[in-house]
């Protein structure tokens, strides 16, 4: 799985929503590549809020509760915004 095209799936796996080797696409059986950080950041703020992640996750067939779990885990400073650093660090967590 290419890192830049599977970022959302990686973050969800890192958050314990999916298995460590799972992906949102494999879990849902839906096609297409998960969006990158910049594609999820619809308002171009430089951060991702939970609503932006929810929209991207639901487009991939991921449930609202799973997106919430992932966001809560990856937003380590609990400011309600996922920075690119938090996103990348979350994707690297095993």
Q: What predicted TM-score, i.e. pTM, was given to this entire model?
A: 0.68
How far apart (Å, rounded) are the C-alpha atoms in residues 38 and 54?
15
Q: What is the pLDDT of residue 35?
A: 74
Distances (CA, A) of 78 to 16, 42, 74, 83: 18, 20, 9, 11
Q: How confident is the model at residue 93 (pLDDT cuts 50, 70, 90)?
A: low
Per-residue pLDDT tens digits for 14-73: 454 444 333 443 344 444 556 788 888 999 999 999 999 999 888 877 888 888 988 998
How far apart (Å, rounded) are the C-alpha atoms in residues 76 and 12?
14
Instruction: Return the higher-pLDDT residue of 77 and 31.
Output: 77
Q: Are strands 81-83 and 47-49 parallel, antiparallel or unpaired?
A: antiparallel
């Amino acid at each position: 799985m290419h890192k830049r095209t599977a970022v959302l799936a990686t973050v969800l796996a890192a958050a314990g929503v999916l298995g460590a080797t799972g992906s949102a696409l494999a879990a849902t059986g839906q096609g297409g590549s998960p969006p990158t950080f910049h594609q999820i950041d619809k308002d171009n703020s430089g951060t991702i809020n939970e609503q932006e992640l929810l929209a991207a996750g639901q487009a991939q067939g991921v449930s609202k509760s799973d997106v919430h779990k992932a966001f809560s885990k990856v937003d380590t400073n609990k400011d309600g915004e996922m920075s690119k650093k938090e996103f990348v660090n979350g994707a690297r967590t095993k």
